[in-house]
Amino acid sequence: MTAPLFFTDPGSLEGVGVGDVVRVTGDEARHAAVVRRIGVGETVQVADGSGRVAVGEVVSAGRDELAVQVTQINENDTAARRFVLMQALAKGGRDEQAIESATELGVDGVVPWQAARSIVQWRGDKAKKARRKWESLVHAASKQSRRPTVPTVEAVVSGSGATERARAAAAVVVLHEEATRPLRDVTLPVEGEVLLVVGPEGGIAPDELSAFEGVGAVTARLGPTVLRASSAGPAALAILLSREWA
């Protein structure tokens, strides 16, 4: 079984080598000690979000600190192509399910989208709280899936803000049930950001679709069925990301 992974402060693994001791503190240490019951002598992985991972043996474990003596350093190269999911806010926690699964699959970033037909609304303090929840979800999903980086959760976008965010991407793919092009046939750029857009339960409004197409987006569909907001993005990412491993 793969060794459990815990995150330490950003950049803290820079210059660390075999034989050094790295320390995991705060909530991560408490999770290791209380939830995972990690003890002295066990092997764990420690990441700082840069793609660098220290593998080592636990030499001390407590609620406030996990000390790990490094036996191996793994470097994970940054891919030339990045995948970002623009997920429409959806009821019933389906948007949260989507970003959690997308993180496990390897998405590089997520953008909360207040679509015209989104029932859920992020406003004021609720928006800040909801974004923090998304950040917590992708952090936990990164640990669970043993990935060395955590996807960025951007600020919520709506209206023209969503269009402008799409304009900044190298390629934009909008999942749409009326599209005729299969997703597998969409040509992706060799490098840069690929933005995948998923609408809410009520679908993407015609003017929103026109706005996305106006900045170069292409529409595509996954297959003969219409998926929920919780599963459409992850299913599409699985198809697109499989090309990275081909």
The residue extents of the domains of the chain are 5-75, 81-245
> Residue 93: pLDDT above 60?
yes
C-alpha distances in angstroms, 245 versus 106, 157, 173? 12, 31, 20
Q: Which CATH architecture has domain 81-245?
A: 3-Layer(aba) Sandwich (3.40)
Distance CA 17, CA 37 (A): 26
Q: How, if at all, do strands 65-75 and 21-25 pair?
A: antiparallel
Distance CA 32, CA 143 (A): 11
Average pLDDT over residues 44-52: 91
Question: pLDDT tens-digit profile of 95-148?
Answer: 999 999 999 999 999 999 999 999 999 988 889 999 999 999 999 999 999 999
- pLDDT grade for 34, boundaries at 50, 70 and 90: confident
Q: Rounded to the nearest 5 degrees, what angle is found at the Cα of 56, between the Cα atoms of 55 and 60?
A: 140
The residues near 5 (Cβ < 8 Å, ≥ 6 apart) are 44, 45, 46, 47, 53, 142, 143, 146, 147, 148
- pLDDT grade for 246, boundaries at 50, 70 and 90: low
Reduce the DSSP state of residue 66 to 3 states and report it.
Answer: strand
C-alpha distances in angstroms, 129 versus 40, 154, 155? 36, 13, 12
Is CATH 2.40.240.20 what the domain over 5-75 is classified as, yes or no?
yes
